[in-house]
Structure 1
Amino acid sequence: EKNLFSPVQSDILEKRIPDHLRHPEGLWFGLSKRARIIIYTKADGRPEKLETYDDLADPSHKGDICMRSSSNIYNISLLASIIEHEGKEAAENWAKGVVANFARPAQGNDTANIEAVGAGECRISLVNTYYVGRMLGSENADTRAAAEKVGLIFPNQDGRGTHVNISGAGVLKHAPNRENAIRFIEFLTSDWAQLAFTEQNHEYTAVPGVSETSPVPGTDGFREDEINASALGVNQAEAVRIFDRAGWQ
């Protein structure tokens, strides 16, 4: 939107990166993914009526939910996707419903909320998968134990699929080494680089079929929301305004 990137045409990138993970005009390309999933306190059992993001706003979960701040890009991105799928009014009703179910004011990062849910301070939260993967793969026994106390739900599996956030790259208009910049992004879609994202940072590969092992132990593949990621940026400002009106600090 600031007009900093230049379009890239690359047969490799267009072949390797699915349409929904790259800008329609080639301004950027997604390179890795993390899913925004629901977690719950395993010791208390899986809560009823908790299959979709919409379910988080159900009054049956009143007083059960911990969340991080609405200023966090992961939450803004999720609400932006809800705006795109369901419209502004539905998105605002959802945000107000979730706030009404808060166990405490929004606080902490994803790791802190995993720990809070595992400790029973609240029963439900939303986190990115790679935080869970990192904790389960930690050399620290206490960190692993905290992550093992939460159950995982990939929302909307019977509908549009689970929301994913991405990391990606583009080429600036005034890049002094444009051709090498493109080659570098192409390299980041190679099997070797894609596996590095998974093995070192517990992210999902943007390139389909590269890894047969989930970066989050104990989970399998999942249906992801294939909304084009560019829509998330377009709807960000409206998402922030909705959060503010809903009282999600």
Structure 2
Amino acid sequence: MNISKLLKPFIATTALTLALAGCGGQDNSEGAKDNASKKEEKVVNVYTARHYEADDQVYKDFTEETGIKVNVVKGEAEELIERLKREGESTEADLFITVDGGVLAHAKDNDILQAVESDVVNENVPETFRDKENKWIGMATRARVIVYSKDRVSEDQLSTYEDLTSDKWKGKVLARSSTSLYNQSLLASFIELNGEKEAVKWSEGIVKNFARQPDGGDRDQAKAIAAGVGDVGIMNTYYVGLMANSEDPEEKKVAEGLGVFFPNQETNGTHVNVSGIGLTKHSKHPENAVKLIEYMTSKDAQEYLAANNYEFPVNAEAKKPEILESWGKFRIQDLDFDTLGKHNQKAIEIFNKTGWK
């Protein structure tokens, strides 16, 4: 009997088995490497409704410091929220950034965000400017104030938002349209703090005292004051800062003639508008995303945003630019930002009912 002939099939089968085992091991190893690569991918994808050069620079600085690339998709807040809902688990977005507490509440209600767990973030941002479940984190605020002509109005004539409805301001009040999210959230805050009846009364009073029908944005109200169309206007502070530091000589001149007044310091406080960041529910890079939130709320990044976009920092350690300091300290409304979203539709109804176009 030829033993070698009997062993040949066995040797061939064994060799094939070992070869396949080796290939299988190699495939598993490469698969593990691929998974690790995805896990360690140094990228964070941002959907943002904030379209500011200052934000873009902060993203660049973050990349230089961490090596994590920031990909940015810009759009309107509602569009981005709908996109996140539509994309669901397949979304590439890790962070959602927007302006206004009502919009942030809307995003949270649509279940597109998850809680942010970070001791650094909690230390950087006080509870006042964080969602109670940490579904969004505040990154900057701007106050909705009364601006006035320094030539025609003295500060001691001003007191509250409600006082703007008195007869002394008839034909002198300027504001943008009721479609402005800023105005909707302002009125929503009054519904929460004073009740629906008083909110209706305020809107009726402002409409009665309009210097003209609402037209343009906040900057246009400032320009109308300078032109003598009206004496007082409702504006966000950061627009005043941007105009005061504009490269346009006309805008700078307009800002020089404006005074900034924080209303309701003896009652409910001044309304503030908050910009915030939310970690998306289906983020593929949550660790990188949280790192970006930590960075954007850090002292240095907050100081940069304040100095270049003239927003108030949420981090108490951050210094404010001279123009913000010059306006002095002020007390803000004490309310849950979620209520702004809760009362948004009612605010729109009141505007329509009272003829605020």
Alignment TM-score > 0.5, same fold: yes
What secondary structure is seen at the aligned counterpart in 2 of 1:34? strand
Distance 2:151 2:127 in 1: 40
Instruction: Give secondary structure in 2 for the equivalent of 1:175.
Output: coil
Letter in 1 for 2:315: V
Equivalent in the alignment of 1:181: 289
Distance in 2 between residues matched to 1:13 and 1:217, nearest whole Å: 25
TM-score by length of 1: 0.95
C-alpha distance 10-236 of structure 1, shift in aligned 2 (>3 A): same
Q: How much is the aligned-residue C-alpha RMSD, in angstroms? A: 1.5
Whether the aligned pair in 2 keeps the contact of 1:19 and 1:228 (CA below 8 Å) is: no
- What's the CA shift for 1:96? 0.7
> Where does residue 235 of structure 2 map in the other structure?
127
Q: CA deviation at 1:209?
A: 3.5
**Which structure 2 residues correspond to residues 71-150 of structure 1 after superposition, within 5 A?**
71-150=179-258
Aligned with residue 197 of structure 1, among 302, 305, 314:
305
1:4 aligns with 2:109: no
Match of 2:339 in 1: 231
Alignment of 1:237-248 (within 5 A): 237-248=345-356
- Residue 11 of structure 1 deviates from its aligned partner by 1.4
Relative to structure 1, the CA distance from residue 134 to residue 37 in structure 2 (aligned partners, 3 Å threshold; closer, same or farther) is: same
The structure richer in helix per residue is 2
Residue of structure 1 aligned with 2:138, choices 19, 30, 41: 30
CA contact (8 A) 1:204 1:215 kept: no
Shift of 1:56: 1.3
In structure 1, the residue matched to 2:30 is none
- Contact preservation (8 Å) 1:136, 1:217: no
One-letter code aligned to 1:197: L
- Report what 2:38 is aligned to: none
In the alignment, residue 195 of structure 1 is paired with which amino acid? E
Secondary structure in 1 matching 2:276: strand
Q: CA deviation at 1:139?
A: 2.6
CA distance in 2, matches of 1:126, 1:168: 22
1:49 shift after superposition: 4.6
TM-score, normalization by structure 2: 0.67
Task: Indicate the residue corresponding to 1:54 in structure 2.
Answer: 162
- Alignment partner of 1:43: what SS? coil
Which structure: larger Rg? 2
Partner-residue secondary structure (3-state), 1:44? coil
Task: Give the counterpart letter for 1:141 in structure 2.
Answer: P
Figure out how many residues of one structure are paired with residues of the other and give that number: 249
Which residue among 318, 330, 341 is the counterpart of 1:210? 318
- What are the Cα deviations for residues 183-208 of structure 1, in whole angstroms up to 9, with x where unaligned? 11111111111011111101110112
Aligned to 1:170: 278
Q: Once the 2 structures are TM-superposed, how far is the Cα of residue 59 of structure 1 from its aligned partner?
A: 2.2
Which protein, 1 or 2, shows the higher relative CO under an 8 Å CA cutoff with sep ≥ 6?
1
CA distance in structure 2 between the partners assigned to 1:117 and 1:212 by the alignment: 27
For residues 216 and 135 of structure 2, what CA distance do their matches in structure 1 show?
33
Which runs of 5 or more structure 2 residues have no equivalent in the other structure? 1-108
